[in-house]
Structure 1
């Protein structure tokens, strides 16, 4: 799935803003994960906070910021329903604590992210 950013909604204030260091209007992004709740739909996309960064940061963004360019879903996505939300993502990423482990630089979570990120990008 590929989306194009058409507006930026601040993740802290919820207001439309002109710019953000991690995302740009007009740029297309692959979607790594979709999380839906009663109140929101969030897309996890890889963002590069600066050009010197060694790796991207998979951030969650409001789906209202994007239009869909390609709706093709990666083969590795599975649907998971629980805790009041529906998630479309690789099963490995849906285990409790995965994203905590990833952002804490736990090596196996980093390797799992990179492997599945590559698979998702190859099907975008």
Structure 2
């Protein structure tokens, strides 16, 4: 799945802003994960300007910022419904504590992210 950024909603204030260092209006991004609750939908996207010399920091962005350009869903995604939240992502990323481990540089989580990120990008 690929989306195009049409507007930027600040992740901290929730207000529409003209720019942000993590994303650009008019750019297209592959979607790594979708999380939705009763009042909000978020897309996890690869970091803009990803530098292979360091670990990526994928961000969560409000789905209202985007238009779907390619609607093909990666075959490694599964749906999980937990406490009113629906997540579409690889099952490895949906295990409790995965994202905390990834951002804490736990080697297993980083390797799972890199492997599945490559698989999702190949299908985008």
Q: CA deviation at 1:56?
A: 2.5
Q: Give the structure 2 partner of residue 91 of structure 1.
A: 91
Q: Give the structure 2 partner of residue 41 of structure 1.
A: 41
- C-alpha distance in structure 2 between counterparts of 1:119 and 1:76, whole Å: 8
Q: CA deviation at 1:84?
A: 1.2
Task: Give the structure with the higher percent strand.
Answer: 1
Q: Give TM-score, length-normalised by structure 1.
A: 0.95
User: Mean alpha-carbon deviation: is it higher for 52-61 or for 96-105?
Assistant: 52-61
Q: For residue 46 of structure 2, give the secondary structure of its aligned residue in structure 1.
A: strand
Structure 1 regions of 5+ residues with no counterpart? Answer: none
Structure 2 regions of 5+ residues with no counterpart? Answer: none
Q: For residue 3 of structure 2, give the secondary structure of its aligned residue in structure 1.
A: strand
Q: Give TM-score, length-normalised by structure 2.
A: 0.95
Q: Give the structure 1 partner of residue 119 of structure 2.
A: 119
Q: Aligned pair in 2 of structure 1 residues 70, 52: CA closer, same or farther (>3 Å)?
A: closer
- C-alpha distance in structure 2 between counterparts of 1:116 and 1:43, whole Å: 16
Q: Aligned pair in 2 of structure 1 residues 53, 38: CA closer, same or farther (>3 Å)?
A: farther
Q: Give the structure 1 partner of residue 5 of structure 2.
A: 5
Q: Report the aligned-residue RMSD.
A: 1.5
Q: Aligned pair in 2 of structure 1 residues 116, 52: CA closer, same or farther (>3 Å)?
A: closer
